[in-house]
C-alpha cells in the first residue's frame, strides 16, 4: 500500500474514526461509511479509561493491551484536543473502586490482589480517607480502594473532535450502511444500502462497525471467518448533579450485591451512571428493570445522586467476542477488521488503530497483532 491508497472505513465510531485519522496522517484518501457518524456504542459509553478496574482474572493479554492503550491515551488525548481545537474531557483523576456488601468486598479484595500482582497501585481507603477524598460516597459500604492509574475521557467530545479533524481534512462521509462488499483481485467495491448509486472502488476497506460487523463479514465471498460477534446491550443513564451536593470527584465503580455499577463525573456536573451487561441480541427496549437496578445501586453508593436531574436514558450494543479480545487484523486480501472491542472501545481502539495502520502499511507492526487476528475464528476450526 502507498500513501495514495483509497481506503473505506465501515463504521464511524471510536474504532473507525481513530483508524481513519491514522490513514489520514499517511495522506490516504479516506471514506467513512456510517448512517450516523459518532452514534452507536461509542456515543453511549461512559468513557472510562480503566485498564486496572476493567481487568479480569486470567486475561493477561487483554490486561496488557489495556495498559498499553491507556499509556497511549496520555499523549493521544492532548494531540486530538489540539488538532480539533476543542477540549475532550481527558481527566487523569483516578478511580474509586468499592464493594457494597461483604461479598462485594471479598471480590474487590481478590481483584485488588490480582492487580497488585500485576504491579498496579491499589490503595485501600479507610472510612476517614473515603470521607476526605469522596465525601459523597455512602459510609454504608463495606470497603473501597483508590486506583490512581484509571482515568476518563468525555467520549462524546472525543467523537466530535475526531469527526471535526476528519471533516476539515477532506475525509468523505457517506451516510449509508454498506449492503454489498465485492472483493476483486486489486480492489474492493462497496455498494450503499440505498442502492441508488454505483458501487465505489477502494484499494482496501476496514470493517469497524462494532456489534454490526458480523453482518459485514458475511458479505465477503471468500472469507471463511466466523467471528460470532455478540451484541452485549448496555443500558445507561446521564444525570446532572444537584448544585448543592455536586458530583463525585472521581470515577466511582464497583459492585452492589454482585451487580456492577459505576458513576463517571464529567467536568460540567454531568454524571454518567451505568451500565447493564445484557446478552439479549439487538433488543432496543429500555427495560424498566435495568433502570430500576442501576438507580437502586447508584443510590446505595452515592445517596445524593437522588437529588440529581435525569436527562438521558440510553442503551448501546457492545461488540463482544467469544474470547474477549478485539478483532484487529487482515480478513482477506483487501479487507481488514478493526472491531470487537467489547467494553473497551474508547480505551483500546486508538491504540489498536495505530497497530493496525502499521500492519496495513507494513510499517513495523507490533508482534501482538497475531493474537487479535480475525482469522482465529475460521469456519474450519469450528466445524
Nearer to its own copies, 180 or 296 (CB): 296
Give the C-alpha separation, 335 to 321, whole Å: 19
The answer to whether the beta carbons of residues 294 and 275 sit under 8 Å apart is yes
Shortest gap between Cβ of 256 and its own copies (angstroms)? 13
Nearer to its own copies, 82 or 312 (CB): 312
What Cα–Cα distance (Å) separates residue 321 from each residue in 94, 226, 360? 28, 11, 23
A 10 A CB-CB count for 191 gives 18
Shortest gap between Cβ of 178 and its own copies (angstroms)? 30
Shortest gap between Cβ of 269 and its own copies (angstroms)? 12
Nearer to its own copies, 180 or 310 (CB): 310
Shortest gap between Cβ of 287 and its own copies (angstroms)? 6
Shortest gap between Cβ of 270 and its own copies (angstroms)? 13
Site for its own copies in 303-332 (CB under 8 A): 305-311, 313
Give the C-alpha separation, 53 to 183, whole Å: 41
Nearer to its own copies, 243 or 383 (CB): 243
Give the C-alpha separation, 340 to 342, whole Å: 5
Give the number of residues in contact with its own copies, rule: CB under 8 A. 22
Nearer to its own copies, 245 or 361 (CB): 245
Shortest gap between Cβ of 130 and its own copies (angstroms)? 22
Draw the binding track, 235-254, toward its own copies (x: CB under 8 A; -: no contact): --x-xx--------------
Cα distance from N-terminal residue to C-terminal residue, the chain: 34
Widest pairwise Cα distance in the chain: 67
Shortest gap between Cβ of 289 and its own copies (angstroms)? 3
Residue 257 sits in the site that holds its own copies (CB under 8 A): no
Site for its own copies in 282-301 (CB under 8 A): 285-289, 291-292, 295-296, 298-299
Shortest gap between Cβ of 293 and its own copies (angstroms)? 9
The answer to whether the beta carbons of residues 35 and 176 sit under 8 Å apart is yes
For strands 327-332 and 309-320, give the pairing: unpaired
Nearer to its own copies, 61 or 311 (CB): 311
Nearer to its own copies, 17 or 100 (CB): 100
Question: In 3D, which of 356, 273, 354, 348 has the Cα closest to residue 14?
Answer: 348
What Cα–Cα distance (Å) separates residue 167 from each residue in 19, 37, 83, 84, 161? 14, 11, 12, 10, 10
Draw the binding track, 190-229, toward its own copies (x: CB under 8 A; -: no contact): ----------------------------------------
The answer to whether the beta carbons of residues 344 and 197 sit under 8 Å apart is no
Please identify, among the stretches 99-107, 232-240, 333-341, 361-369, the one whose residues bind its own copies according to the rule CB under 8 A. 232-240
DSSP per residue over 163-206, as a string? HHHHHHTT-EEE-S-EEEEEE-SS-EEEEETT--SPPEEESEEE
Which parts of this chain interact with its own copies (CB under 8 A)?
Answer: 237, 239-240, 285-289, 291-292, 295-296, 298-299, 305-311, 313
Amino acid at each position: 500500500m502507498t500513501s495514495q491508497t483509497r481506503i473505506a472505513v465501515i463504521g464511524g465510531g471510536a474504532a473507525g474514526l481513530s483508524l481513519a485519522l491514522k490513514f489520514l496522517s499517511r495522506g490516504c484518501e479516506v471514506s467513512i461509511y456510517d448512517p450516523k457518524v459518532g452514534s452507536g456504542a461509542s456515543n453511549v459509553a461512559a468513557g472510562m479509561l480503566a485498564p486496572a478496574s476493567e481487568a479480569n482474572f486470567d486475561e493477561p493479554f487483554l490486561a496488557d493491551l489495556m495498559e498499553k492503550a491507556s499509556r497511549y491515551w496520555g499523549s493521544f488525548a492532548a494531540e486530538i484536543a489540539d488538532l480539533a481545537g476543542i477540549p475532550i474531557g481527558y481527566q487523569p483523576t483516578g478511580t474509586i473502586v468499592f464493594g457494597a456488601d461483604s461479598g462485594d468486598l471479598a471480590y474487590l479484595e481478590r481483584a485488588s490482589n490480582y492487580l497488585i500482582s500485576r504491579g498496579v497501585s491499589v490503595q485501600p481507603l479507610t472510612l476517614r480517607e473515603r470521607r476526605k477524598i469522596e465525601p459523597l460516597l455512602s459510609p454504608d459500604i463495606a470497603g473501597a480502594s483508590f486506583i490512581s492509574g484509571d482515568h476518563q475521557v468525555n467520549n462524546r467530545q472525543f467523537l466530535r473532535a475526531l469527526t471535526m479533524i476528519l471533516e476539515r481534512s477532506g475525509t468523505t462521509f457517506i451516510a449509508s450502511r454498506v449492503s454489498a462488499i465485492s472483493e476483486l483481485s486489486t480492489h474492493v467495491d462497496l455498494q450503499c444500502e440505498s442502492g441508488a448509486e454505483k458501487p465505489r472502488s477502494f484499494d482496501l476497506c476496514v470493517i469497524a462497525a462494532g456489534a454490526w460487523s458480523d453482518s459485514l463479514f458475511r458479505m465477503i465471498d471468500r472469507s471463511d471467518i466466523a467471528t460470532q460477534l455478540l451484541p452485549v446491550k448496555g443500558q445507561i443513564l446521564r444525570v446532572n448533579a444537584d448544585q448543592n451536593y455536586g458530583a463525585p470527584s472521581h470515577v466511582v465503580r464497583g459492585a452492589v450485591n454482585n451487580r456492577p455499577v459505576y458513576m463517571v463525573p464529567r467536568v460540567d456536573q454531568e454524571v454518567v451512571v451505568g451500565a447493564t451487561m445484557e446478552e439479549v441480541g439487538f433488543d432496543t427496549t429500555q427495560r424498566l428493570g435495568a433502570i430500576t437496578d442501576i438507580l437502586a445501586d447508584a443510590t446505595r453508593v452515592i445517596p445524593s445522586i437522588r437529588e440529581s436531574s435525569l436527562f438521558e436514558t440510553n442503551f448501546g450494543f457492545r461488540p463482544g467476542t467469544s474470547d474477549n479480545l478485539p478483532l484487529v487484523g487482515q480478513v482477506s486480501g483487501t479487507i481488514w477488521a478493526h472491531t470487537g472491542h467489547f467494553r473497551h472501545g474508547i480505551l483500546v481502539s486508538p491504540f489498536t488503530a495505530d497497530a493496525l495502520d502499521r500492519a496495513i502499511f507494513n510499517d513495523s507492526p507490533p508482534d501482538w497483532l497475531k493474537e487479535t487476528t480475525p482469522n482465529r475464528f475460521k469456519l474450519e476450526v469450528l466445524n
